[in-house]
Amino acid sequence: MVSRQPMIEVRNLYKRFGNLEVLKGVSLSVGRGEVVVVIGPSGSGKSTLLRCLNYLETPDSGQIFLDGVEVDPKRNLRQVRQEMGMVFQSFNLFPHMKVLDNITLAPQKVRGTDKESAEKLALELLAKVGLADKAHSYPGELSGGQRQRVAIARALAMQPQVMLFDEPTSALDPEMIGEVLEVMKKLALEGSTMIVVTHEMGFAREVGDRVVFMDDGHIIEEGPPREVFSNPKQARTREFLSKIL
Amino acid sequence: MSFRWDLVWSSMPMLLQGARLTVQLTAIAVFFGVIIGTIAGIARLSKGPQKYIAAVYIDFIRGTPLLVQTFIVFYGLPGIIGQPIPAYTAAVLALSINSGAYVAEIVRAGIQAIDKGQTEAALSLGMTSAQTMRYIILPQAFRQILPPLGNEFIALLKDSSLVSVIALEELVRKGQIIIGRTFRPFEVWLAVALIYLVMTFSVSRIVDFLEKRVKNGV
Amino acid sequence: MKKTTALLITLLMMFAVTSTVLAQDVLKVATEAGFMPFEFVAEDGQLTGFDMDIIKAIGDKLGMKVQIDNISWDGLIPALQNKVYDALIAGITITPERAESVSFSDPYFESVLTIVVNQNNKDITSLDSLKGKIAAVQISTTGDFAAEEIEGLGSLLRYNTVPEAMQNVIMGTVHAMVVDLPVAEAYLAANPHAPLTHVGPVADNEFYGIAVHKENQELLAKINQALAEIKADGTYDAIYEKWFGAN
């Protein structure tokens, strides 16, 4: 972990859906190269927190900073989104395009990269996630685990500063979870800054630099995984962990 | 009176002439209708003044008879622009504008049927709304809306008979002319119906074929 | 018997008698009321015109009530053939082709075609002079058949009704309309501000007849008889003078 200014800083975020307050003043700091794993029961607001970072949800109040610059939906949202790659629970690959095109589309249309360079990078990334031979397949032909790995490659193709993972393995059959976690572990070891919302405690323990426990719109507790898992300070943390560990 | 098959056959050349005009008018109208409808459908889903303009257009056209719209274009519009509009142009205009409103609803439904996650993925990669629509949403929507678009084509094939009121000699009109001379309505209308059947059936088959091709390609 | 039952039975009998009596006496006629001054819809919504007066006069002579329906022009003969109506009176010209499908009464009016044009027109004076021009007609009328025969006619636009065809001459989408002369004169008189005129007789005289189903020779004979009577006793002349001035 580095001591320069945080890669991501969230200050006092509030978000409600109708009458339901989902984020009740959440503040968080993520350092460069840090892997932060966010855990908590459903409805705790952890996905909403993640989706506020790239403004897929619009916070009601609070501030978000990327590398020291405040995220302003009116002025720099597109640039911010280019620096934040997101991997979704339901993959969201573009079914009408080949795997290779899925990956090269945004670099070409958003960053203006030429086709050759985009494809070169895409093939490298596909090799990295172990799917070099699937470049010309369609998403429909792939298994869930393969699709998610392609989704990771697609997000990486924009060479973002931060990778956001929203329950990346929750929709996968158990036998495919491992292959995706392997890729994520690889990224972590390379020094990527990652925020991962997940239920995979093994991953949190092995790969996470910090675990953040959320409940009912608040961050209840955070710390190194070893500490939080073996020695939770808060009662609610204890309660949650006892149910899942 | 006995049924005269020979009249059915002898009417065919003239009726087929009319059918040609029917197909021509319908094809042109659907072509423009898809362009207008796509714009209106997207506008309908957007935020801003264009949303209300599109809504008014769609509601007005879907809420008034095509016959009335044809009369407005042919008899009403020249009053506003100060010069007559040829019947063929008026027919293309009226049919296209009519088709556009129905296509708009088809397109709107098709776009809304696309999973929200597709848009979220595109936006999260930094694409603009316009890029998302162009590369991600519309291509997928269009594959889905082939069947309803085909139905719109078939509906328009049949509705196009209305342009006979401005003296265009499409299929039904040709039938009327023959009856005005032979006084054998049953044989003539049967022949007309058969030709319509062939046209609409062909369109259905083509739509089915395109659907299969699209399914296999994706 | 209860009072109500007795009343009901009386009413039923009255209804049966009246309807049988009435049923025998109705002459069901169809026309297309877009043909001034022969048949058209007056401002009060009533069907009126020369033909309407003639057929009512014939009905009187026959001791029959005349019931007239206003339907589309090219639905007339098919409806007659299906026996929906007993007779048609609609400015229908007697032609050999039509006479193959229906029976016509003796002629009740002598007419002729004319060409309606813009009042500034100088070059359209006859059917042949329509070469290269756009002509409007009402579909399946003698005007339609005559225009069809013109060699080199620019194009022939067939409209459902006379007013629609006239409107197109006014609008300038067509150069001329070929139509029966009395009808042209009646429309021009009714629309004095329309920039139209007509060029006078352009073809041989034609005759209007009342159409009946070929199998209804009995009715045909009766109609011809009645027609002869109203011509003889001045009724016809009175009607003619009402619509066209002195004969």
pLDDT tens, A156-189? 999 999 999 999 999 999 999 999 999 999 999 9
DSSP, res A73: T
Rounded to whole angstroms, the Cα distance separating A46 from A219 reads: 9
Same domain, residue pair C119 and C180:
yes
Kindly state the percentage of chain A with pLDDT values over 70. 98
User: What is the domain range of residue C132?
Assistant: 113-198
Of the candidates C102, C158, C173, the beta carbon closest to that of B86 is on C173
Could you say which of B85, B176, B185 has the minimum Cβ distance to residue C139? B176
pLDDT beneath 50, residues of chain B = 218
Return the residue of C nearest to B76 by Cα: C171
**How much is the pTM?**
0.82
Same domain, yes or no: C127 and C149: yes
Q: What residues contact residue B78 under an 8 Å CB cut-off, 6+ apart?
A: B84, B85, C171
**Residues recorded for chain C:** 247
Residue A65 near chain B (CB below 8 Å): no
Nearest neighbour of C159 by CB, restricted to B84, B167, B181: B167
Provide the residue type at A202 as one letter: G
Q: How far apart are CA B119 and CA B133, in angstroms?
A: 8
How many residue pairs from chains B and C have C-beta atoms closer than 8 A?
Answer: 47
Beta carbons within 8 Å of A108's beta carbon, 6+ residues apart: A114, A115, A118
B28 Cα to chain C: minimum distance (Å): 22
User: What is the structure's pLDDT at B213?
Assistant: 81
Distance in Å, alpha carbon of B161 to nearest chain C alpha carbon:
13
The whole-number average pLDDT for the span A94-114 is 96
DSSP classification of residue C105: -
Give the mutation candidate from C82, C137, C140 for the B interface (greatest B CB count, under 10 A).
Answer: C140
Euclidean distance between CA atoms B64 and B79, whole angstroms: 20
Instruction: Evaluate whether chains B and C are touching (3 or more beta carbon pairs less than 8 Å apart).
Output: yes
Residue A17 is given by DSSP the state E
Give CA separation, A49 vs A63, A161, A164, A221, B120, in Å.
12, 18, 11, 15, 15
Pair (C233, C188) in one structural domain: no
Among A51, A55, A56, which would you mutate to test the B interface (most chain B Cβ atoms within 10 Å of its Cβ)? A56
One domain for residues C143 and C131: yes
Report the number of distinct structural domains present in chain C.
2
Alpha carbon distance C199, C183 (integer Å): 13
Q: Which pair of structure tokens corresponds to residue B101?
A: 């409103």
Yes or no, beta carbons of C81 and B87 under 8 Å apart: no
- Contact (Cβ atoms closer than 8 angstroms) between residue B39 and residue B103: no
In this prediction, residue B218 carries a pLDDT of: 46
The C-alpha of A96 sits at a distance from chain B's nearest C-alpha, in angstroms, of 5
Residue B157 contacts residue B95 (beta carbons within 8 Å): no
Chain C: list its partners (3+ Cβ pairs within 8 Å).
B
Inter-chain CB proximity A81 and B117 less than 8 Å: no
Q: Tell me the per-residue pLDDT of A204-215, one tens digit each, with 9 for 90 and over.
A: 999 999 999 999
Q: Do C41 and C12 reside in the same domain of the chain?
A: yes
Using the Cβ of B118 and the Cβ atoms of chain A, whether some distance falls under 8 Å is answered with: yes
Q: How many CB atoms lie under 10 A from the CB of residue C43?
A: 6
Domain coordinates in residue numbering, chain B: 5-215
A24: which strand partners?
A14
Task: Mark yes or no for CB contact C157/B87 under 8 Å.
Answer: yes
Which among B83, B87, B179 is the nearest to C74, CB-wise? B179
Q: Would you call A86 and B124 a contact, using CB atoms and an 8 Å cutoff?
A: yes
Q: Give the C-alpha separation, B95 to B87, whole Å.
A: 12
Contact C232, C106 (CB under 8 A): no
Tell me the three state secondary structure of residue A226: helix
Of the candidates A110, A111, A103, A108, the residue with the CA atom closest to the CA atom of residue A128: A103
C235 and C168 in a single domain? The answer is no
- Residue C198: which of C124, C138, C145, C91 has the closest Cα? C124
Contact across the interface for B139 and A81, Cβ inside 8 Å: no
Contact A90 B143 (CB under 8 A): no
What does the DSSP assignment read for B114-132? S-HHHHHHHHHTT--HHHI
Q: Are C74 and B176 within 8 A, CB to CB? A: yes
pLDDT tens-digit series, residues A51-98: 999 999 999 999 999 999 999 999 999 999 999 999 999 999 999 999
Q: Is B139 on the interface with A (CB under 8 A)?
A: yes
Residue among B124, B135, B139 whose CB faces A54 most closely: B124
Residue C35 domain flag? yes
Using CA of residue A57, residue A61, residue A66, residue A71, what is the dihedral sign?
A: positive
Q: How does DSSP classify residue A71?
A: P
CB contact under 8 A, C74 and B173: no
Is residue C203 a part of any domain in this protein? no
What the block records as the tokens of A57 is 């949800």
The predicted structure's pLDDT at residue A121? 96
Tell me whether the omega of the peptide bond preceding residue A41 falls within 30 degrees of 0, making it cis.
no
pLDDT tens for each residue of B6-64: 888 999 999 999 999 999 999 999 999 999 999 999 999 998 999 999 999 999 999 99
Contact between A34 and A7 (Cβ < 8 Å): yes
- Let me know if C161 is exposed, middle or buried by CB neighbors in 10 A (0-12, 13-18, 19+): middle
What Cα–Cα distance (Å) separates residue A81 from each residue in A87, A95, A147, A229, C201? 13, 22, 22, 33, 82
- Cα–Cα dist A43/A22, whole Å: 7
The CATH superfamily assigned to B5-215 is MetI-like (1.10.3720.10)
- Chain A: nearest CA to B216, how far in angstroms? 11
Residues C105 and C141 in one domain: no
pLDDT at A141 over 80: yes
Task: Report the pLDDT value the prediction gives residue C37, as an integer from 0 to 100.
Answer: 95
Chain B residue with Cα closest to A108: B127
Q: How far is CA C239 from CA A237, C37, C108, in A?
A: 106, 12, 12
Nearest beta carbon to residue B183 from set C101, C136, C160:
C101
What is the Cα–Cα distance from A63 to C96, expressed in whole angstroms?
A: 93
Distance CA C199, CA C194 (A): 15
Q: Which letter, b or e, does each residue of C16-35 get, where b requires 16 or more Cβ atoms within 10 Å of its Cβ?
A: eeeeeeeeeeebbbbbbbbb
Tens-of-pLDDT digits for all 247 residues of chain C?
688 888 888 888 887 776 655 556 899 999 999 999 999 999 898 999 999 999 999 999 999 999 999 999 988 999 999 999 999 999 999 999 999 999 999 999 999 999 999 999 889 999 999 999 999 999 999 999 999 999 999 999 999 999 999 999 998 999 999 999 999 999 999 999 999 999 989 999 999 999 999 999 999 999 999 999 999 999 999 999 999 987 6
Cβ count near B139 (within 10 Å): 16
